[in-house]
Amino acid sequence: MDARLNYFASPTAGKILKHFMAAGAGLKESSLPAATQELVALRVSQINGCAVCIDMHTKEAAAAGETALRLNLVAAWREATVYTEAERAALELAEEGTRVADGAGGVGDEVWARAARHYDEEQLTALVVLVSFMNTANRLNIIARQPAGDYVPGQLH
């Protein structure tokens, strides 16, 4: 499969995506745990069906030491026993924040309260921005049909 657009060759995309990717880099510097960030990025990408982001975040998480078991169970995190309560709260918030068009009404108060029990305001801010960032990245890649499979960890850093 060939991509519909080559974002790296486009002057317009180059100007815009430089700033967009800088925002993503800023998230990496936040106090939200790196493992949580990768699990959330992976789950949002699974929900949206973004193959290139699933490829990227699976490989980045594995390179950072995440286990295959935890990566393989992200799609079924509710039934899996391998995640902390904090990670579960982040994944739940990520799902509700991603599925806003499903008529769910956005992130419910109970979901927010569970996340707030585990994360401080800065971490919650990073979590919300990460969910929004990933949804945008997913859409950029899905619309342009970016192919997956060739990502190398660290490639975009």
At residue 116, φ and ψ (nearest 5 deg) are -65, -20
At residue 43, φ and ψ (nearest 5 deg) are -65, -45
Q: Is residue 119 part of a domain?
A: yes
Tens digit of each residue's pLDDT (9 = 90 or more) over 94-142: 999 999 887 667 899 999 999 999 999 999 999 999 999 999 999 999 9
In this prediction, residue 7 carries a pLDDT of 84
Q: Is residue 55 part of a domain?
A: yes
Cα 6 from Cα 144, distance rounded (Å): 8
Tens digit of each residue's pLDDT (9 = 90 or more) over 20-71: 988 888 999 999 999 999 999 999 999 999 999 999 999 999 999 999 999 9
Q: Please count the structural domains in the chain.
A: 1
The whole-model pTM stands at 0.93
Token match 């769910």: residue? 104
Cα 24 from Cα 18, distance rounded (Å): 10
Write out the two tokens for 50: 């973004």
User: Range of 136's domain?
Assistant: 32-143
What CATH number is associated with residue 109?
1.20.1290.10
In this prediction, residue 103 carries a pLDDT of 67
Q: Is residue 151 part of a domain?
A: no
In this prediction, residue 52 carries a pLDDT of 95
Q: Is residue 15 part of a domain?
A: no
In this prediction, residue 58 carries a pLDDT of 96
Q: Is residue 148 part of a domain?
A: no
